[in-house]
Structure 1
Amino acid sequence: MLGGSRGIGATNAQLLAEDGADVAITSQRAAQKAEAVVKRTESRGLRAPLRVPWRA
């Protein structure tokens, strides 16, 4: 999920995970925020691996 570390992207990542999708959270500049999204997602028993830094 590009942009999944904050704002609308984080919300979308959470919603997709809740709907059964496996999401990978990526971040180039917001590693701590991305880690927080991963922890919130995994605390709900959902899968969300973290990929930092993301490179195109």
Structure 2
Amino acid sequence: MASKTCASCNSARHALADLTGTSISNVTRWTAYAKRDWFDWIACRKELQG
């Protein structure tokens, strides 16, 4: 998979923060704890929701 730009990662972080009602720094820590990149999933969900 191609590497993501900082802008797309930031957009995904903002989207996840909005969905979960938490801060971007908390989202960043959470993804590190989960040991998985969730940004693709968030981007797909956001795209499906329009």
Report the TM-score when normalising by structure 2. Answer: 0.34
Q: Which has the larger radius of gyration?
A: 2
Higher strand share: 1
Report the TM-score when normalising by structure 1. Answer: 0.31
